[in-house]
Amino acid sequence: MYPPITYLSDCTDTNAQARLSMRMAALFGRSPVLLPLDGPAPEQSAGLTLLDMLLATRHFGEDGFPTVTLVNVAPRDGTWENGAPFCWFRHGPHTVFSTYSPTLLSMVRTHLGVTRVEVTDARTVLGAAGSWARIAPPEADAVASTQFRSLWYLPLLAKWVLDERPVPATTTDVPAAPGTGRVRVGLIDNFGNCKLTATGDTLGFVPGERLAVAFSRDGADLGSHKLHCYGRLSEVPAGEAGLVIGSSGTGFVELVVGCGSAARRFGLTEGTDVDVI
């Protein structure tokens, strides 16, 4: 019996989700929980979501159970011939299989100490799998060269690692992501609250005081505002904007509007830069 599986992917349409669900069910005997990454900065939102998922496995008062997470985000920056490779790592009893992306992995690197991962090459892994899987060379070549590796390769990688097969991999450092140290809107929730990628200590958050912050995106100035720091969300007056310590990360700050949407009020999207001025 395999642990429960959650799959985060930027392949979000119904057809893609149906194929992923069916393939995973056939491989693992159960369908995963499929969660779409469909915002304007999917690597960043995936990174914050992955951090929150792993943080959510703490403080049970008991051991809890292992989990498995798959994360697929396809960077289209031309760095890799057929897209970024996939890697895997363990955090306690939990196993994560992910696109090897410094941006995606930056949150777990900084806040959970995940500094090294096992990077795989699909063609090498599929070649080695001939000793334990019934995959003929033409099939292995098709899986290694397809652009939909999140469907054909990543589930196989996860199964073979969980089955303790001798999967070839290279232990690789997770480098600092470009723009490390920049504070951004990491994720916008369904209420329009903007989860920032920094803790209250980093920003100088003090309940009862004000912080002056400036927003920009792709070099364009989106304005600056003095925002009141509140001890908790329930203290923010209806219609007023403010900063609170939110539920994400390790005490990350959130920009909120009481009974409203901060994203709509300030015209913010995921990936917007935030500076304390």
Pairing of strands 33-36, 5-9: parallel
Q: What per-residue string of b and e applies to 58-83 under the rule 16 or more CB within 10 Å gives b?
A: eeeeeeeeebbbbbbbbbeeeeeeeb
Domain final residue, candidates 123, 155, 173: 173
In terms of Cβ atoms closer than 10 Å to its own Cβ (0-12, 13-18, 19+), residue 201 is exposed
Domain assignment present for 66? yes
pLDDT of residue 36: 92
Task: Answer yes or no: do 67 and 169 share one domain.
Answer: yes
Question: Which of 46, 49, 45, 274 lies closest to 182 in space, CA to CA?
Answer: 274
pTM of the model: 0.94
Task: Answer yes or no: do 126 and 201 share one domain.
Answer: no
Residues in CB range of 183: below 8 A, 6 or more apart: 196, 197, 198, 202, 203, 273, 274, 275, 276
pLDDT of residue 216: 95
* Containing structural domain, residue 67: 5-173
Give the pLDDT of the chain (277 residues) as one tens digit per residue.
Answer: 899 999 999 998 999 999 999 999 999 999 999 999 888 889 999 999 999 999 999 999 998 999 999 999 976 555 656 678 999 999 999 999 999 999 999 999 999 999 999 999 999 999 999 999 999 999 999 999 988 999 999 999 999 999 999 999 999 999 998 888 899 999 999 999 999 999 999 999 999 999 999 999 988 999 999 999 999 999 999 999 999 999 999 999 999 999 999 999 999 999 999 999 8
Domain assignment present for 238? yes
Domain assignment present for 159? yes
**pLDDT tens-digit series, residues 146-195:** 889 999 999 999 999 999 999 999 999 999 988 888 999 999 999 999 99
Please answer whether residues 53 and 47 qualify as being in contact, where contact means their C-beta atoms are separated by less than 8 angstroms.
no
What CATH number does residue 190 fall under? 2.40.30.90
pLDDT of residue 39: 82
Task: Answer yes or no: do 71 and 145 share one domain.
Answer: yes
For residue 258, the 8-state DSSP code is B
Domain assignment present for 178? no
Helix (H, G, I), strand (E, B) or coil at 146: coil
Task: Answer yes or no: do 162 and 232 share one domain.
Answer: no
Task: Answer yes or no: do 238 and 105 share one domain.
Answer: no
Domain final residue, candidates 111, 138, 173: 173
Task: Answer yes or no: do 36 and 164 share one domain.
Answer: yes
Domain assignment present for 203? yes
Question: Whats the size of the chain, residue-wise?
Answer: 277
pLDDT of residue 219: 87
pLDDT of residue 99: 96
Q: Could you give the count of Cα atoms lying within 13 Å of 230 in the half-sphere of its Cβ?
A: 18
